[in-house]
Amino acid sequence: MSETLIEEFEILLKEGQLIGQSPQGKEFADFDHWLSVFPEFASFFQNWSQRTLNFLDRKNVREIAQELILDNHLAQAFLLVMIWGYSGDARGPARVRLIMDQPNFIQALDSSIKSLKLNQVENAYDDLIVNGPKHLSTSFGTKLLYFFCEKNQQPTPLIFDKRIFDILNDLNFFPMKSPVLTSNQYMAYLRKISELADKYSLSTENIEEYLFIFSGIRSGNYSWKRHMDFHSLEDQQKNGLALLFSEYLATKLSDPSILPNGNGGGQYGGYVVTGTNRGAEWEIHIATHSSVNLIKPEFIRFDWNLILLRGIAQSTKDLISASY
């Protein structure tokens, strides 16, 4: 089970490297909803809404949070991260209010930020999550550490939430019994992600983000994944994706072959994959200037944008599992 999942995860990594963008899209930030619970921060909500048009991604959350920290607006930096983290969860504001009402709230934020500046990630974890305000768990505490750390800090404190916990267990990369970590366990998690980053020649932040996206794909939640327009990509990227799709599909067929797509004098680009699946002859044109077309055993046209949203590995699985 885990070997197949690792294979699918690795295809997602290769797909992402070809596209060359962060795999996670923007999260809708309903600032009006939060304003009803935190009216004292109205001016900040208005500023953030205008600046982001109510859509937050990792890049602008980090940028804004760092600006707020520099201006000593720690509560506001905390609140911004929580809005991103809770996204459309209606329970978010009430829980965040409970956290902010704790007497050690600001002190814990300040201590953790000071520890991060000294590159003492384990101490920062203890300051904020182990000894910090009640109701702040590993899941949301590590989001704060991630956005509060300075750029290029090593080791980079990474997010560890229930989704990361589940997918790491499924992949057997870092099996744990609970998504609530001690500081020692959290540092062990960072070391494991560093190993994976070295293995796949990616940053630790990339690995954590791809794990998060893969967990969404596994659970059928595609709202977290960046929506891509295939036809906006460069020809080299399109060809790379078509080849990746062709090679991966070919591994699932018997007696496979992959040929350049010469249909229509080559105007379609891409590749033609043939082979057999459960006794049926298959032919699929993975074109780069149009859609992906299954020719045999029956004609079906697939839109590239949906394939990228679903993912090449998952799309292949769907194709192969169909009964003809």
List strand residue ranges (DSSP E) for 60-205, in order: none
- What does the radius of gyration of the chain's CA atoms come to, in whole angstroms? 23
The helix (H) or strand (E) run that includes residue 89 is none
- Give residue-wise pLDDT tens across range 13-37: 999 999 998 999 998 999 998 999 9
* Phi and psi, residue 5, nearest 5°: -65, -40
Mean pLDDT of 245-270: 83
Extents of the domains making up the chain:
2-219, 230-321
Rounded CA gap, 205 and 156, in Å?
Answer: 8
Residue 262 has pLDDT above 80, yes or no: no
Buried b (16+ CB within 10 A) or exposed e, 173-193: bbeeeebebebebbbebbeeb
Helix axes 235-250, 312-321, angle to 10 degrees: 40
Identify the pLDDT of residue 323.
60
Q: Residue 264: what pLDDT?
A: 46
Give dist(CA 113, CA 120) in Å, integer.
Answer: 10
pLDDT at 82 over 90: yes
DSSP state of 155: S
Q: What is the pTM of this model?
A: 0.92
Cβ atoms of 302 and 292 closer than 8 Å: yes
On the question of pLDDT at 208 being above 70, the answer is: yes
Q: How confident is the model at residue 268 (pLDDT cuts 50, 70, 90)?
A: low
Going by C-alpha positions, the residue among 80, 208, 213, 228 that lies closest to residue 144 is 80
Name the region of 306 (left: φ>0; alpha: ψ -120 to 50; beta: rest): alpha
pLDDT reported for residue 266: 44
Q: How many CB atoms lie within 10 A of CB 103?
A: 9
Q: pLDDT grade, residue 87 (50/70/90)?
A: confident
Q: What is the pLDDT of residues 143-198, one digit of tens each?
A: 999 999 987 788 999 999 999 999 999 999 999 999 999 999 999 999 999 999 99
Max CA distance (Å), the chain: 72
CA 297 vs. chain centroid, Å, equals 35
Q: DSSP letter at 225? A: B
Least-confidence region, from 34-43, 44-53, 290-299:
290-299
Distance CA 255, CA 262 (A): 21
Task: Identify whether the C-beta of residue 157 lies closer than 8 Å to the C-beta of residue 145.
Answer: yes
CA dihedral 176, 223, 81, 172 (to 10 degrees): 10
CA 23 to chain centre: 5
Contact 197, 35 (CB under 8 A): no
Residue with tokens 């101490």: 123
DSSP structural state of residue 289: S
